[in-house]
A and B are shown apart, each in its own frame.
Chain A
Amino acid sequence: MDVGDTAGRLVRPFTLTRGRTRPSRADFTLISTVTAVDPPPARAARCQPEHTRILRLCAEPVAVAELAARLDLPVSVIVILLCDLLEAGRITVRPPRPVSRIAPDLDLLQKVRDGLGRL
């Protein structure tokens, strides 16, 4: 996949995604965490500036919503860019902890409660 577009200075959000409107975005919720792969894959293609900005921000794990806020781009645009990076092997993504209403995770709830109690 070609991620080496050199024409990509920030203009309007949807020119960044080169008009693509059907990303594989199932993995990216607002609170999925994204982490840059370090070191990058040997044959990593050159990135668009916005891809590079994302990679810089997710050197440590960071949530999708935080990336959007910090880069001042809509979540939907961030997700498309993240799809590029995921397919290029530049990031890993961790989905949120699943929440079941039928079988609630008591251990998880207790951890959240303990954490809040320490605030």
Chain B
Amino acid sequence: MAGSELATDASSAPDTVKILIAGGFGVGKTTMVGSVSEIAPLRTEEPLTMAGLGVDDLDGIEEKRATTVALDFGRITISRELVLYLFGTPGQQRFWFMWNDLALGALGAVVLVDVRRPRASFAAIDFFERRGIPFVVGVNGFHGEHPYPAEEIKEALAVPEHVRVLLCDARDRESCRDVLIALIDQLIASAVQA
């Protein structure tokens, strides 16, 4: 179909980049998005068949529409020319096929870990590690409490040395901002090294 070259670019529109907020089900991803976003987190609902298989085959879509996967996201305007989007990845493992699409073109990811059940985020760490997508780990405390030091958790998670592990509170704006900054610092550090 013609059209893809018709009218790309709009000089007044800002550049956009994205960071993923990942982790197991219920670790506080949407909370974190909401804490730093300048807008209340937005949600899109995708019919699952569409999200998984593309839109080419819609046979029986009416029957399958009941299953949707929600995607929560927020926005941070960096400047007039640059806007950062934060996407909370769907936590349930059965929705992980979506992560590939989401990860495409992302600067990197924050893997949130619930301090009470770190296992819930093991698979998320695997996902980014295997694909070589840069990430930091944010350890979300329970009511902001942190019984273990970051170093101990880092050891337990067995993440590579260069991956930063930070204690955080997903409800706290500055805490979440610092996790994002740590990710960017890590990206800058590995860019300088390369």
Contacts and interface: CB of A to CB of B under 8 A. Distances in A.
Interface of A: 12-14, 19, 21-27, 29-33, 35, 37, 61, 63, 65-66, 68-70, 72, 74-76, 80, 83, 86-87, 89, 91-99, 101, 104, 106, 108-117, 119
Tier of interface size on chain B: 35 or more
Nearest to B84: A112
| 3 A-B pairs with the lowest CB-CB distances in the bound complex, closest first | A115-B78, A69-B42, A61-B13
A91 B45 CA distance: 24
Given A61-B10, A91-B7, A92-B8, A112 B2 contact: no
A112 B85 contact: no
A112 B78 contact: yes
A13 B55 CA distance: 13
Interface in B1-38: 1-4, 6-10, 12-18, 36
B158 interface: no
Contact of A92 (B7, B42, B73, B194): B7
A110 B8 contact: no
Contacts of A92: 7-10, 13
**Secondary structure call for the B interface:** mixed
Nearest to B81: A111
B76 A74 contact: no
B44 to A, nearest CB: 4
Interface of B: 1-4, 6-10, 12-18, 36, 42-47, 50-51, 55-58, 61-62, 65, 68, 71, 73, 75-79, 82-85, 87, 102, 104-107, 132-134, 173-174, 177, 180-181, 184-185, 187-188, 190-192, 194
Nearest to B186: A109
Given A27-B4, A33-B14, A108-B17, A74 B50 contact: yes
Contacts of B83: 33, 63
A69 B90 CA distance: 16
B181 A117 contact: yes
Given A72-B45, A87-B6, 11 more contacts: A21-B56, A33-B10, A63-B83, A66-B42, A75-B44, A76-B50, A86-B6, A97-B16, A108-B82, A114-B78, A115-B78
Contacts of B181: 113, 116-117
A96 B36 CA distance: 21
A34 to B, nearest CB: 8
26 contacts: A14-B61, A21-B58, A23-B1, A24-B3, A25-B55, A30-B73, A31-B85, A35-B13, A65-B87, A74-B45, A76-B46, A76-B50, A80-B55, A83-B1, A83-B3, A89-B7, A92-B9, A92-B13, A99-B17, A104-B190, A106-B188, A113-B185, A113-B188, A115-B76, A115-B79, A115-B82
